[in-house]
Structure 1
Amino acid sequence: MAQAPSDMPVLETPVLIIGSSMVAQKGISDCLTIEKHSSTAIHPRAALFHPRTMQIYRELGLYDVMKTESYKHYDKHAGLHAVETLAGKSLGTWMKDINEGLEEISPTSRLFLTQQMFEPLLRDHAVQHGARLRFSTELVDFEQDAEGVTAIVRDMESGAEQRVRAKYMVACDGSRSFVRGKLGIPMQGHGLLSHSLTIYFRADLSRFVEGKYNGVIYVNNPVIRGFFRLDKTGREGFLAVNTAGVRGSEASRYPGKDISNEQARDILRAAIGADVDFEITLLSPWSAVCDVAERFQDGRILLAGDAAHIVTPNGGFGGNTGIQDAHNIAWKIALVLQNQAHPDLISTYEKERWPVVKKTIDQVFVQYIVRTAPELKSEDLEMEDEVPEPWLELGYQYHSRALTTTGFPGGSVMRNPATAKAAPGTMAHHVLLSTTDSKSSSGVDREASEPVPIADLLGHGFVLLCGHKALRWIRAGRRLKGETSTGPTGSSAQDLPKVQVHQVSPAVANHHFYEKYQITPHGSVLIRPDGFVAWADKGQEVGDDNEDLAEDAVARLEGLMVRILCKSAQGLGSADSDNTAVKLSKL
């Protein structure tokens, strides 16, 4: 890093986030985000939000307002269609209703909502919860050491520079990431597919879409291959152009290169397929790429969003994948900053996210070929079989030290969420659940709640879900939570985060929970702050009043938390090391 003037002001922050967009940090207060743009998005990009993403924003209290805003502009039953031209022949439907069948596997739906509608909502929420955002501010340089990261940032309006000192830096600075470039982290994957183009325009296309098409409309004809994203009136949207001209020719892969307004008008007219008055408001060239960074972490610097992976817009996986990156990072950094987890916990971000992201970019590549560029298929092309969107959105599994995973059969990172069972490493599967409020460790004086989505219990810390006969796990959880006079058994437990304990009621309806989570009424499931299952004990009929078994449950639960939080024996005192080794051996 260039030598900074000795009198340059220094600002300290726990976490410095470079770039913002939709990739926001949850759970880290007082972080500083700098964004080189002067405001939130002004163009309608990244319109499709996945159910997993909406689960995250449901935890933040934004889901209802996002649905309300979405339904003003888009039909909640919008689909993904294919046409020769907007006014011409239909070529079929990829997805008739984007929310068909989702109610069985998710408490949230897919939403169409453009960035310029959504980003102000996220910005206001972040500011209300202690985040500091600076627009028109760019990263000039940075360096890191064993204790943190020092960055120089510049106000792009005044030119004033400031030195920022942070314990961690998260780079969300886009596909041409300055941070990734300086760290020398290469990209790998499928490379450049085309120099694409987005044409923003004004027109009345209502007569071609009302009662016929809604949502995303793929266009495939001899002149243009790409897709419209239109609202339910047919008066607002854009055309994304992947290839144009003679199909399969080299020149067809460069519609966004040196494009003129007249050429853009010809392309748009060919996509509409009728003589319609329109006004082009912006031409935005971009590169269609499906690549992933070789690694997501370098010391105290982490990559997220487009800085870590780049995909084509097919399926809307770019922004959604970035949001899930941030969700995985945030709770881990927060617990480390609170001294409740070992810094090694942060290294599990790459371990968990990289395989899932790699699978995602490979699947988006398949969608690009199938939906837009079938001419790229050849005997030499290595291409996976396409899997349904819910597998990618809700059916993936993490593996790391922060979990007690055993892995899916055959080494797969994802399965069908409609049929798969919840297991360590999977996100908590959606069921309606009735719990009781345990007012004593004996399990008496309880009142059953109305069934709610299991997601209502999650997202604000560690959660222990106990079967209605799992009294020893209920007592263990309450002791670790600090609710009883006899505190946790190990001296390390005072630095562990609290665990929220919920007892499943004996209601017949809860058999779906036992079936999905593969436990008995004597069993228990521990779920992480990000909503992923960390551990499960099937349970067995044992004497819950046995004092030795009760102490064993406390020791196992405490040891489990030490493991998940990467508080290894090396980080504990000698007495704690012996205790921890015993606890871990019982997991």
Structure 2
Amino acid sequence: MAKRVPVLIVGGGPVGLSLAGDLGWRGIDTVLVEARDGSVFQPKMDMVGIRTMEFCRRWGIVDDVESAGYNRAQVQDCAWVTNLNGFEFGREAFAAPQDERSPAQSPQHRERCPQNFFDPVLTRFANSTGHADIRYRTRLLSFVDHGDHVTATVEARETGEVYDIDADYLVGTDGGDSTVRTALDIAMSGDGALTYTSNAIIRCTGLPSLHTTAPAYRYIFIGPEGTWATLVAIDGRDQWRFSLIGDGTQREISEEEMRTAIVRAVGREFDFEILSMLPWVRRQLVADNYRKGRVFIAGDAAHLTSPTGGFGMNTGILDAVNLSWKLAARLQGWGGEELLDSYELEQRPVAVRNITEAGDNLKRMLEPRLTTPDQRIFAPDDTPETRAARKAFGDHYTEMMKREWHSIGIHLGYVYDGSPVIVPDGTPLPAMQVSSYAPSARPGSRAPHVWLDASRSILDEFGPGFVLLRFDPSADSAPLQAAADRAGVPLRVVDIDDPVASELYERALVLVRPDGQVSWRGDTMVEDPDALLTRVSGRREHALVLQ
């Protein structure tokens, strides 16, 4: 007999687990099916971005992320070298996670937490809500969208049992080879093969003592042929991820070839163990649609990106939070169908921007392949001319790569411009920035952070429902509260007596929606607060045009 659930999630990586957790945090029951057993042998990500850490803050799991297992004393420098016992061209210095401080624009900072550490944190969070039923070693076989619900047929791999799950909605977070996206016949646009790359997770105790280069989190190896490999401190202790970067030609890398490449990168023979190898294709693709009927896709199922910049998973978790509150609103009866339509309209442009930036980061990293560096920089001598050539190359590469290392504008500066559930205020769209971020409360933007006291951010006021921030106590909020009560829309009015926040938000009244984005602002309440609420809650049949 079919079992009914509000939301069925297919795929148990960080995006699926975040969706289950956020929906559970909002009181919505989910079933998550994952074909694997939950183990991660090849972490696909290792950087939890600043916006994702803000979500972790609202979920109450920041301490869990910080204590998940990565060595937080590991220096986070990025360095570009001939090999670890050769010459260093330059580096970008970053503090160890334990020493990093949050920027002025956020109560959090990015965190180093590879997927093999982060997934268990998210699993515990989802389970802690009491609303998530996570079923590992369970794979999706097929599904049917009946119009008023979805029936999915799944198989428990350990027992072979095949059974149906009825769900109000289905979300595919099942990766780049998404079964859900394929079944929906959704095409992807972009470049399907930027490079063919092979990763190896290696174990070597005391690797830093075996080379002359100063410690770093990431090393980029540049030879006469150009940029050819990277090495990343995947746990900050004795495990490293070595990536042998190919080109557009697919070929199989043997373990012997991988070992030879690793020895070349270190610059000497040494003892190490290859724990696993994984060939993969670096892609730059975005799905043409994020939804068909009652079925949605998110994360890598919706967009595939080069990891240069660390945008992939973080864009996916933004998908999850954006979709989560909208599904919750629809299931709880106060959100309209246009709210679900707005998911693609808001998130797809963000994905296009982010994967484009990541692709440009890759081009910058691989530039030495195209420009052919001055071969004197690889000479074994250390003459003044050779040193000058190395410095010139290193200075150029260091400056060029800063855009990848400093990308707060990508993580915090996204704007849902033109969304049907955002009420514009006539102010111009700010220019997109990458390495800088100017907070703005313009509708469609992330509601800016301000410290209200030593430990409380204004972001901490945002919860499962709408929040009306009132910066002027004389501004009348009662009409909107009454309209929310009539419509069943969760709304809380919060008075903010803080001159810094008032100046930053620029209006007496600012409406922040459940994902922390500004949906409307004004100095006085609109004449028709019912129309405002129907607009921002996506009830097209009732919504009026508001100026």
**Which TM-score band applies after superposition, normalised by the shorter structure?**
0.7 to 0.9
Correspondence for 2:293? 299
2:467 to 456, 463, 468: 463
User: 1:210 and 1:345 mapped to 2: Cα distance?
Assistant: 56
Correspondence for 2:10? 18
Correspondence for 1:45? 44
Aligned Cα RMSD in Å? 2.7
Amino acid at match of 2:415: Q
- Per the TM alignment, residue 253 of structure 1 is displaced from its structure 2 partner at its CA by 4.4
User: 2:103 and 2:211 mapped to 1: Cα distance?
Assistant: 26
2:500 counterpart SS class: helix
String of CA shifts for 1:37-89, please: whole Å, max 9, x gaps: 0124243431111000000111111112212335x513376233322222322
User: 1:420 and 1:460 mapped to 2: Cα distance?
Assistant: 23
- Per the TM alignment, residue 287 of structure 1 is displaced from its structure 2 partner at its CA by 0.5
User: 1:210 and 1:338 mapped to 2: Cα distance?
Assistant: 60
2:516 to 499, 516, 531: 531
1:326 counterpart SS class: helix
Q: Following superposition of structure 1 onto structure 2, how do residues 43-122 of structure 1 map, counting pairs within 5 Å? A: 43-69=42-68, 73-75=71-73, 78-94=76-92, 96-97=94-95, 102-122=102-122
CA gap 1:278/1:184 in 2 versus in 1, 3 angstroms: same
Unaligned stretches of 5+ residues in structure 2: 373-401
> Is the CA contact (8 Å cut-off) linking 1:340 and 1:496 kept in structure 2?
yes
2:242 to 235, 239, 242: 239
Q: Following superposition of structure 1 onto structure 2, how do residues 141-540 of structure 1 map, counting pairs within 5 Å? A: 141-203=142-204, 204-207=206-209, 212-222=214-224, 225-230=228-233, 235-243=238-246, 252-254=247-249, 257-375=251-369, 388-399=406-417, 400-405=419-424, 409=428, 418-433=437-452, 452-473=456-477, 475-476=478-479, 480=481, 488=482, 493-505=485-497, 510-519=498-507, 523-539=508-524
Amino acid at match of 1:206: P
> Is the CA contact (8 Å cut-off) linking 1:397 and 1:426 kept in structure 2?
yes
Correspondence for 1:558? 530
> Is the CA contact (8 Å cut-off) linking 2:425 and 2:520 kept in structure 1?
no
**Relative to structure 2, which stretch is displaced further, 150-159 or 404-413?**
404-413
> Is the CA contact (8 Å cut-off) linking 2:408 and 2:434 kept in structure 1?
no
User: 1:127 and 1:165 mapped to 2: Cα distance?
Assistant: 21
> Is the CA contact (8 Å cut-off) linking 1:215 and 1:229 kept in structure 2?
yes
1:362 counterpart SS class: helix
> Is the CA contact (8 Å cut-off) linking 2:9 and 2:171 kept in structure 1?
yes
- Per the TM alignment, residue 96 of structure 1 is displaced from its structure 2 partner at its CA by 3.5
User: 2:212 and 2:138 mapped to 1: Cα distance?
Assistant: 43
User: 2:486 and 2:92 mapped to 1: Cα distance?
Assistant: 53
**Relative to structure 2, which stretch is displaced further, 52-61 or 75-84?**
75-84
- Per the TM alignment, residue 142 of structure 1 is displaced from its structure 2 partner at its CA by 1.3
User: 1:233 and 1:527 mapped to 2: Cα distance?
Assistant: 39
TM-score, length-normalised on structure 1? 0.80
1:433 counterpart SS class: coil
String of CA shifts for 1:102-141, please: whole Å, max 9, x gaps: 4211111111111111211211221221101111111111
Computing the radius of gyration over CA atoms, which structure comes out larger, 1 or 2?
1
CA gap 1:498/1:50 in 2 versus in 1, 3 angstroms: same
Amino acid at match of 1:359: R
String of CA shifts for 1:447-482, please: whole Å, max 9, x gaps: xxx672111111332111111433412x445xx2xx
Q: Percent identity?
A: 28
> Is the CA contact (8 Å cut-off) linking 2:84 and 2:212 kept in structure 1?
no
User: 1:112 and 1:415 mapped to 2: Cα distance?
Assistant: 20
Structure 1 position 125 matched with structure 2 position 122: no
CA gap 1:555/1:189 in 2 versus in 1, 3 angstroms: same
**Relative to structure 2, which stretch is displaced further, 224-233 or 285-294?**
224-233
Amino acid at match of 1:316: G
- Per the TM alignment, residue 216 of structure 1 is displaced from its structure 2 partner at its CA by 2.2
1:501 counterpart SS class: strand
Equivalent residues, number: 504
> Is the CA contact (8 Å cut-off) linking 1:180 and 1:303 kept in structure 2?
yes
